[in-house]
Structure 1
């Protein structure tokens, strides 16, 4: 292991502590990370120890969990408690993740582009795009969907069932366990979750835009086969 000057170790650990507490550091930290090999090496080492990676924009630095084993990973139970209705199941989580994938796909031309191809997305269009992907999933034979569920660790049948049980516009819906919810309300839940994670911003007029953090994460991870495992080809195939 490389020997680092004590001052650099302290400086890097102070920066890591800021990231661990807040998940983000400012432009000064970005410049320090880019310009100092020792600081960069130490921060990368600290982040690997907690299964995270350092993600940079031009003005901010983020500590992003790389695997579910990371102590900084947002757990499914935490998401259920903070964002989903009482009695939410894994099916609600699957659908939440699915709507997020569709949102990112809308900005990146169904993941065919390395750069965003639009500036914003309206809530109504988000609902419409999710419906398009749900209709695409329905084109698969049920047995085929089961096979893909094992391959991608997504319960596609349950995603379809949850979405179809919601009402298109109104707050009334087919009865399901517990309270019911409209599709637009569910999309609003996804919106709040992504805003809280610093991945989108509300620009008014029921429209959202991606943050620089989101753009960096999508380009670094979502576009790589190592991470997406072909899931986007399946969703948009």
Structure 2
């Protein structure tokens, strides 16, 4: 397909801004929606770096689709910037597990189009993780080993990491220090998600999803070909279509 030079240059300008910032404003959204050629060029540019463009009503986001993307956040980067000194892959597994549980609790069924609740309290999030850990523990050793090979998740290490953390104190309002308590760990995951614009603090120890996270969840998290098996295993989603 032949593109006019001005369209190519405009699309490339938008792409370079996305590559630097990761997000563009409403003006870019309108251009992306209205101009088929610029949209097609932007999508092709993003595919070349293993990314996809996610569009909300007011923003465009460049989101890595595979680990091969230069924009992919590595496990080592997360360890250095968010986790305690000496963090292992087990801490990373637990961080991802906590995120999946959080997102899952905003929806009442598999393939939901919209969240079914507006916010979640931090202490509720901790309780939901504990419930899912107990669910994992209900499986026998062989079943966990089989699932680990299927999903490339080390469920037993996730259980061990969670169990080795201090119990949640009912009187604790906020723990963001250097302890290894469960609430402290969850606070670390919260900071990571806030920094990535995937959740927003709304006060009173409550968090809500952002438009960016809703679009990512709709496109990937709830998509059958991506995570159905994992959701069924850890969260009891049954995959029934609405």
TM-score by length of 2: 0.92
Work out the number of aligned pairs and report it: 228
SS in 2 for 1:107: coil
- Cα distance in structure 1, aligned partners of 2:235 and 2:80: 31
SS in 2 for 1:209: strand
Q: Which runs of 5+ in 1 are unaligned?
A: 171-178
- Cα distance in structure 1, aligned partners of 2:100 and 2:29: 28
Give every structure 1 segment of 4 or more consecutive aligned residues whose post-TM-superposition deviation is greater than 6 Å.
Answer: none
- Cα distance in structure 1, aligned partners of 2:21 and 2:107: 28
Determine whether 1:200 maps to 2:205: no
- Cα distance in structure 1, aligned partners of 2:111 and 2:43: 30
Determine whether 1:92 maps to 2:105: no
- Counterpart of 1:11 in structure 2 is 10
**In the TM superposition, what is the alpha-carbon distance from 1:169 to its structure 2 partner?**
2.4
Q: Deviations over 1:60-99 (max 9, x none)?
A: 0000001111000000000000000000000000000000
Q: Deviations over 1:129-161 (max 9, x none)?
A: 000000000000011101100100100000000
- Counterpart of 2:172 in structure 1 is none
**In the TM superposition, what is the alpha-carbon distance from 1:112 to its structure 2 partner?**
5.5
Query: In the superposition, relative to structure 1, how do residues 43 and 112 fare at CA in structure 2: closer, same or farther (>3 Å)?
Result: closer
Q: Are the equivalent residues in 2 in contact too, given 1:166–1:180 (CA < 8 A)?
A: no
Determine whether 1:119 maps to 2:112: no
**In the TM superposition, what is the alpha-carbon distance from 1:180 to its structure 2 partner?**
5.2
- Counterpart of 1:175 in structure 2 is none
**In the TM superposition, what is the alpha-carbon distance from 1:230 to its structure 2 partner?**
1.3
Residues 63-82 of structure 1 aligned to structure 2 (within 5 Å): 63-82=62-81
Q: Are the equivalent residues in 2 in contact too, given 1:152–1:229 (CA < 8 A)?
A: no
Q: Are the equivalent residues in 1 in contact too, given 2:11–2:41 (CA < 8 A)?
A: yes
Determine whether 1:231 maps to 2:230: yes
SS in 1 for 2:105: helix
- Counterpart of 1:173 in structure 2 is none
**In the TM superposition, what is the alpha-carbon distance from 1:229 to its structure 2 partner?**
4.4
**In the TM superposition, what is the alpha-carbon distance from 1:212 to its structure 2 partner?**
0.4
- Cα distance in structure 2, aligned partners of 1:229 and 1:104: 14
